[in-house]
Each structure stands twice: as structure tokens, then as C-alpha cells.
Structure 1
Amino acid sequence: MNPQAEELNQIIRKKNPAVYEMLSERGKNIFFPKKGILGQTAEAKGTRINATIGAATEDDGTPMRLETIASKVNLDPSLIFPYAPSFGRPDLRSKWKSMIYEKNPSLGETQISLPVVTNALTHGVSMAGYLFADAGDEVIVPDLFWGNYNLTLANGYGASLVKFNLFKNEQFDLDAFETTLNKGEIGKKILILNFPNNPTGYTPTEKEAAAIVSIIGKAAEKGNKIVCISDDAYFGLVYEEGIARESIFTALANLHENVLAVKLDGSTKEDYVWGFRVGFISYAIKGGDAELYGALESKTAGAIRGNISNAANISQSLMFAAYNSDEYPIQKQEKHQILQQRYNAVKEAVKDEKYQKYFKPLPFNSGYFMCIRLNDELDSEKVRQVLIEKYSIGIISLNGLLRLAYSAVAASDVKDLFEGIYKACEECC
């Protein structure tokens, strides 16, 4: 093991031995190199002649660039062309941390890590898998989950996805969740909670969220070491009263010394910049402090350094500028209202009782999506094909379910969407 990795491990073991036990073998061995080329480059910063970094400069010391590119972006070249740190831009990391507290006021004085920038959420899931999942480890997910977990965690790291039933009587199935979490021997547990959920567009009620946290706390009291990953890709897109508005990370952040809360979030869905690829990974645990979090941040940056080197500088700079604009909250509210209207249109459309002949909606209240479950005699893939060929409507087929991204459907088209599905079902019977 590299001495720099062991140095970080010693900090983690000293601060919280349970966190060390949660790390995968890769996680235990990874580190961010402070010596070698990176260390020497850091020491040379500010020198008159700097021939350390693998980038080119103009004679005046500014980044070398093509005007055909530079002219398209109204930012200082230093914010576009150079590498960003593997940890992410310090200004953006600090800003995002402050925004987490603003969006989740229940955090209060709870100390969390400084977010590390990832190449959006898929990369965040992958880095969480790198740090915590060994081959053969089980990762608990609901039976309706984002398919990319298979590629990143199962195919990528050899983990096994263990599913619990998501819904029971139109509510979050707390019994199934508790049974699955406590199944097997006491030890390391990894789970992913994705709210608003993809594909269903469901966020637990405030009461359900409190019950989920209580179940996790009781499992930790038994001696389980729990890595709880909060996939907050669609955070903030909630459309009903009584639904949990804060990330479940908030309640987990100071829950128990055996519960490491890992928050994956970012600009992608929250700020409608899907191609920018700006995400974050943050940590919190009861009793956590700057030294423990610093060690975890260094391991995360090391994993990123060895994976993609760093996330794009230009995207980080653009998001930092947006977050400091007075227009940002106004414009964000305007877009949220558009999605609210589309959600309302969907809620109204599914009230039509005739649809029950062929399908019914699963619970939904947030995010980008909703799902409908077809009656047993219908083939979801056949319905999908008919919708494309005869009605020019595109939806996603998921083993008996149809996932509808109403985020991409004008409110005025929602009724036509459901009428088309109804007619396609009629033809497929």
C-alpha cells in the first residue's frame, strides 16, 4: 500500500473505525498524490518561468487557445482552458456546500464535507462504487431503479443489486425496506435511496422519510456499518404538499456513528444543464470533522484523478457564475413552474376512469417521470412500438411498465399522450 494511502487510512481509523470498515479494498488503497508531478507542480505555482504543467501558454502567460473557440464563450480564458483540480474548482465547491445548507435548513450546524466535483451523477455513482463496493458486495436498491446502477455498480465493480419492493398500497413499502436492510448477518451494508425516484417520480412523504431514517438508525444500532448513498439527481423538483422537501441525506448526516451519508447531486437536472456534466459527492456522519472529511475528500479526488483526471473547467465556471447571479433563483423558479404545470396536467389526465381498463398510474409526486402499469394481458414493448408507428408518441417500456417523461411534454400535449396510450392498448388487446 502506498504510504500516502496508509496516511489517510490512519486518519479515518482514528476518527471513525466504522468508516474504514465501509471502504472497499480500492477505497483503502486510493489516495490523492501530493508528491511526484502534482506536488512539484503545486510548489512551482507563481514562479516566473513555470515549465511543470502539461499545458501550453501564450507568450504573455495566458492559456494558449484558438480564437474560434474563445470567441464563443464570454468568460475569462483562465476559467475555460486550463485544467480544473481533481477535487473541483474551490470556489464552486464552497458555493455548492453553502447551497446544500440553504436547501436543507434542517442540517443546522451539522458538519459535512466540502463537496468534491464529479462528472455529473453517473460518475458520482461510479466513484461511490469505487470507494465502497467490492466484488460480491450487495447494494440495496428499490425494485424500480435507475438502470445505470447495473452498469456502474454491477458490471463496473462486480457488486450485486438486491431489490426491495418499492410500493405497497400506493405508499412506500417500509416493511420490505426494513426486511431487506436487516437480512443476513450484521456487517457492512450499502444502500441507494433515489428521491425523486427514477423511473417512478416518487418522493416519500415527510412521515415516510422519517420512518426510513428510523429503520436505518435501528439497523446501525445493531452494529451494521451502513453506507447510505442519496442519489439526489432530481432534488427540489417536488410538486405536492406533505412530500419531503429536504434530501434524506439531511436526516442521515448526524444519525449514527455507523451511518455514512453520501450525497450525490449536481447541476444536471436541478439546473437544466444536462450536457455540462457537473455533479458533486459529499459526506456526513455523526461526529465527523474536517480531518475525517478531508481524508475522504482526498480519496475521492484520487479516484477521480485515476479515472477522468478532472471534470471540465468551463462547465464549473459557468455554473459558478450562474449561482452568483441575481437572476438565477428567478429563472429557476420559472422553469420549476413549467414542470409544475406539466405535472398538474398529468395528474388531471390520469383521473379519467376509462384508462383503468388498460392501465393505472404508480404513485408519483415529483421529478421528471411517472409510470403506468399495464394490465397483465398487455405487452409493454408491443404497446411502445404501436405508439411510435401509429401515433408518433415515444415512451419507455420497462417490463410491464411504461415510463413517461412528462418533463419533456408540453402541458397542452399531455391529454393527447394518454389518449394515444389508451388507443394503442386497445389495439394490442
Structure 2
Amino acid sequence: MNPQAAELNSVIQAKSTPVFELLSERGKNIFFPKKGILGQTAEAKGTKINATIGAAIEDDGTPMRLEAVASKINMDPSLVFPYAPSFGRPDIRAKWKSMIYEKNPSIAGVELSLPVVTNALTHGISMAGYMFADAQDEIIVPDLFWGNYNLTLTNAYGCSLGKFNLFKDGGFDLESFETKLNEGGIGKKIVILNFPNNPSGYTPTVEEQDAIVAVIKKAADAGNKIVTITDDAYFGLVYEEGIATESIFAPLSQLHENVLAVKVDGATKEDYVWGFRVGFITYGIKGGDAELYSALESKTAGAIRGNISNAANISQSLLLSAFESEEYAQQKEAKYHIMQKRYDAVKKALTEEKYKECFEAIPYNSGYFMCVQLAEGLVGDEVRQLLITKYGIGVIALGNVLRVAFAAVAASDVKELFDGIYNACKDCKK
């Protein structure tokens, strides 16, 4: 083991034995290199002639660049062309942390890590897997989950996905979740909580979220060491009263000394910048302090450096500029109202009684998606293909569940969308 990794491990063990025990073997061995090339480059910062940097510099000291590129970008070249740190730009990390507190007021005063910048959420989930998942580990997910977990976690790290039933009687199946969490006796547990859920578009009610947190606390009280990865890709897009508006990361980050909360989030869906690829990993645990979090940040940055080196500087700069703009909040609110209108159009369309002979909606209240469960005898992929060829409609078939991305559909087209699904189902029944 590299001495720099051992040094970080010593800090983590001294501050939190449960956190150290939750680290994967990769997580224990990783470190951010403060010596070698990076260390020597840092020591040379500010020198008159700096020949350490692996980037070309113009004679005037600015980043070397092609005018064919630079002429298209109305920003200071220093914010665009140089590498960003593997940790992410310090200014956007600080800003995103302040935004986490703004969006989750119940954690005011709770000490969290400084977010580490990832190449959006897929990379964030992958880095969480790198840090905490070994091949023998099972990661607990609902039976309706984002399919990319298979690639980022199972294929990449060899761990398995253990499923619990997401819904019962029109709401979150707390009993199934608790049973799954406590399977296999006392030990290390890894849980992914994705709300609003992809594909169902469901966020727990306030009462359900409190109950989920209570189940996790009970398991931690029993001696389980638990890492909860909150996939907050669609955070903030809640369309009904009584639904939890704060991330479940908020209560989990201060719940128990045996529960490490890992928040994976980003601007991708929240701020409608899918191609920017800027996400964040943030840590929280009861009793966590700056020294513990700094060690976790360093390990995470080391994993990122060894994986992609760093996230794009221009994307971070553009986002920070937007976050600090006076128009940001108003513009984001306007887009939310468009999403709300589309959601409301879905709700209205699904009041059509005839649809029930072919499909019924799975619980939904938030996010980008909703799903319908096809009636018995129908085959999801057959319906999907007929929708394309005959009706000019595209949906995703997940077995006999169809996922509808209403975020991508104008409110005025929603009725035609569901009429098409109904008619395709009728055709398949003939």
C-alpha cells in the first residue's frame, strides 16, 4: 500500500472506524498524490519560468488556444482551457455546498464534506462504487431502478444488485425494504436511494421518508455499518403536496455514527445541462469533522484522477457563472412550471377510464418519468415496437412496464401519447 493511502486510512480510522470498514479494498488503497509530478507542480506555482505544467502556454502567459475555438467562447481563457483540479474547481465546490444547504434547510449547521466534482452522475455512482463496493458486496436497490447501475456497479466492480419491492398499496413498500436491509445478519450494507426514482417518477411522502430513515437507524443501532448512496439526479422536481422536498441525504447525514451518507447529484437534470457533465459527491455522517471529510475527499479525488483525471473546466465555469446570475432562480422556476404543466397533463389524461383495460399507472409524483403497467397478456416490447411503426410514438419497455419520459413531451401532446399507447395495446390484443 502506498504510504499516502496508509496515511489517509489512519486519519479515517482515528475519526470513524465504521467509515473505514465501509471502504472497499480499492477505497482503502486509493489516495490523491501530493508528491511526485503533482506535488512538484504545486511547489513551482508562481515561479518566473514554470516548465512543470503539462499544458502549452502562449508567450504572454495565457493558455495556448486556437482562435477557431476561442472565438466561439465569450469567457476568460483561464476559465476555459486549463485543466481543472481533480477535486473540481474550488469556487464551484463551495457554491454547490452552499446550495445543498439552501435546498435542504433541515441540515443548517450540520458539517458536511466539500463536494468533489465528478463527470456528472453516472461517473459519481461509479466513483461511489469504487470507494465502497467490493466484488462480494450486494448493493440494495428497488426492483425499479436505473439500468445503468448494472454497468457502473455490477459489470465494473463485480458486486451484485439485491432488489426490494418498491411499491405496495400505492406507496413505498417499507416492509420489503426493511426485510432486504436486514438480510444476511449484521455487517456491511450498501443502499442506493434514488428519489425521484428513475423509472417510476416516485418520491416518498414526508411520512414515508421519515419511516425509511427510521428503518435505517434501527439497522444501524443493531450494529450494521451502512453506506447510503442517494442518487439525487432529479432532485427538486416534485409536483404534489405532502411529498418530501428535501433529499433523504439530509436526515441520513446526521442520523448515526454507523451510517455514512453519500450524496451523488449534479446540474445535469436539475439545471437542464445534460451535456455539461458536471456532478458532485458529498459526504455526511453523524460526528463527521473536517479532517475525516478531507481524507474522504482526497481518496475520491484520487479515484477520479486515476479514472478521468478531472471534469471539464469550461462546464464548471459556465455553471458557476449561471449560479451567481441574478436571473438564475427566476429562469429555473420558469422551467419548473413547464415541467409541472406536463405532469398535470399526464394526470389529466390518465383519468380516462378506458385506459384501465390496457394499462394502469404505477405511482408517480415527481421527476422526468412515469410508468404504466400493461394488462396481463400484453408484451411490452411488442407494444413498444408497434407504437413506433404505426403511431410514431417512442417509449421505453422494461418488461411489461412502459416508461414514459413526460419531461420530453409537450403538454399538448400528452393525450395523443396515451391514446397511442391504448390503441397499440388494443391492436396487440387482436
TM range (shorter): over 0.9
In the TM superposition, residue 278 of structure 1 has moved relative to its aligned partner by 0.3
TM-score by length of 2: 1.00
In the TM superposition, residue 317 of structure 1 has moved relative to its aligned partner by 0.3
Match of 2:235 in 1: 235
Q: Say whether residues 1:385 and 2:385 are aligned partners.
A: yes
Taking the TM superposition and a 5 Å limit, the aligned residue runs for 1:43-192 are 43-192=43-192
Q: Which residue type is aligned with residue 76 of structure 1? A: D
Match of 2:282 in 1: 282
Taking the TM superposition and a 5 Å limit, the aligned residue runs for 1:318-333 are 318-333=318-333
Match of 1:421 in 2: 421
Taking the TM superposition and a 5 Å limit, the aligned residue runs for 1:185-334 are 185-334=185-334
Tell me, in whole angstroms, the C-alpha distance in 2 between the residues paired with 1:322 and 1:126. 27
* 1:308-361: CA deviation from partner (whole Å, max 9, x where unpaired): 000000000000000000000000000000000000000010111100000000
* 1:26-65: CA deviation from partner (whole Å, max 9, x where unpaired): 0000000000000000011111100001000100010000
Classify the secondary structure of the residue corresponding to 1:318: helix
In the TM superposition, residue 192 of structure 1 has moved relative to its aligned partner by 0.1
* 1:181-215: CA deviation from partner (whole Å, max 9, x where unpaired): 00112010000000000000000000000000000
In the TM superposition, residue 258 of structure 1 has moved relative to its aligned partner by 0.2
* Structure 2: unaligned runs, 5 residues or longer: none
TM-score by length of 1: 1.00
Q: Say whether residues 1:39 and 2:33 are aligned partners.
A: no
In the TM superposition, residue 426 of structure 1 has moved relative to its aligned partner by 0.4
Taking the TM superposition and a 5 Å limit, the aligned residue runs for 1:407-418 are 407-418=407-418
- Among all aligned residue pairs of Structure 1 and Structure 2, give the percentage whose two residues are the same amino acid: 73
Q: Which residue type is aligned with residue 236 of structure 1? A: G
Q: Which residue type is aligned with residue 189 of structure 1? A: K
Tell me, in whole angstroms, the C-alpha distance in 1 between the residues paired with 2:281 and 2:73. 28
Tell me, in whole angstroms, the C-alpha distance in 2 between the residues paired with 1:72 and 1:333. 29
Q: Which residue type is aligned with residue 112 of structure 2? A: I
Q: Say whether residues 1:365 and 2:369 are aligned partners.
A: no
Classify the secondary structure of the residue corresponding to 1:20: helix
Tell me, in whole angstroms, the C-alpha distance in 2 between the residues paired with 1:380 and 1:186. 39
Q: Say whether residues 1:8 and 2:43 are aligned partners.
A: no
Taking the TM superposition and a 5 Å limit, the aligned residue runs for 1:324-363 are 324-363=324-363
Q: Which residue type is aligned with residue 55 of structure 1? A: A
* Structure 1: unaligned runs, 5 residues or longer: none
In the TM superposition, residue 103 of structure 1 has moved relative to its aligned partner by 0.3
Tell me, in whole angstroms, the C-alpha distance in 1 between the residues paired with 2:46 and 2:405. 50
Tell me, in whole angstroms, the C-alpha distance in 2 between the residues paired with 1:139 and 1:159. 7
Classify the secondary structure of the residue corresponding to 1:227: strand
Classify the secondary structure of the residue corresponding to 1:280: strand
Q: Which residue type is aligned with residue 227 of structure 1? A: V
Q: Which residue type is aligned with residue 27 of structure 1? A: G
Tell me, in whole angstroms, the C-alpha distance in 1 between the residues paired with 2:278 and 2:356. 41
In the TM superposition, residue 380 of structure 1 has moved relative to its aligned partner by 0.6
Classify the secondary structure of the residue corresponding to 1:144: coil
* Alignment root-mean-square deviation, CA: 0.4
In the TM superposition, residue 171 of structure 1 has moved relative to its aligned partner by 0.5
Tell me, in whole angstroms, the C-alpha distance in 1 between the residues paired with 2:320 and 2:46. 24
Tell me, in whole angstroms, the C-alpha distance in 2 between the residues paired with 1:160 and 1:422. 36
Tell me, in whole angstroms, the C-alpha distance in 1 between the residues paired with 2:226 and 2:70. 47
Q: Which residue type is aligned with residue 315 of structure 2? A: S
Q: Which residue type is aligned with residue 127 of structure 2? A: M
Tell me, in whole angstroms, the C-alpha distance in 2 between the residues paired with 1:162 and 1:216. 16
Classify the secondary structure of the residue corresponding to 1:204: coil
Tell me, in whole angstroms, the C-alpha distance in 1 between the residues paired with 2:282 and 2:198. 21
Q: Which residue type is aligned with residue 281 of structure 1? A: I
* 1:153-191: CA deviation from partner (whole Å, max 9, x where unpaired): 000000100000000011100000000000112010000
* 1:347-399: CA deviation from partner (whole Å, max 9, x where unpaired): 01011110000000000000000000001110110000100000000000000
Tell me, in whole angstroms, the C-alpha distance in 2 between the residues paired with 1:24 and 1:226. 13
Tell me, in whole angstroms, the C-alpha distance in 1 between the residues paired with 2:249 and 2:111. 12
Classify the secondary structure of the residue corresponding to 1:339: helix
Tell me, in whole angstroms, the C-alpha distance in 2 between the residues paired with 1:293 and 1:363. 37
In the TM superposition, residue 136 of structure 1 has moved relative to its aligned partner by 1.8
Tell me, in whole angstroms, the C-alpha distance in 2 between the residues paired with 1:302 and 1:385. 45
Tell me, in whole angstroms, the C-alpha distance in 1 between the residues paired with 2:131 and 2:56. 33
Match of 1:396 in 2: 396
Q: Which residue type is aligned with residue 86 of structure 1? A: S
Q: Which residue type is aligned with residue 250 of structure 2? A: T
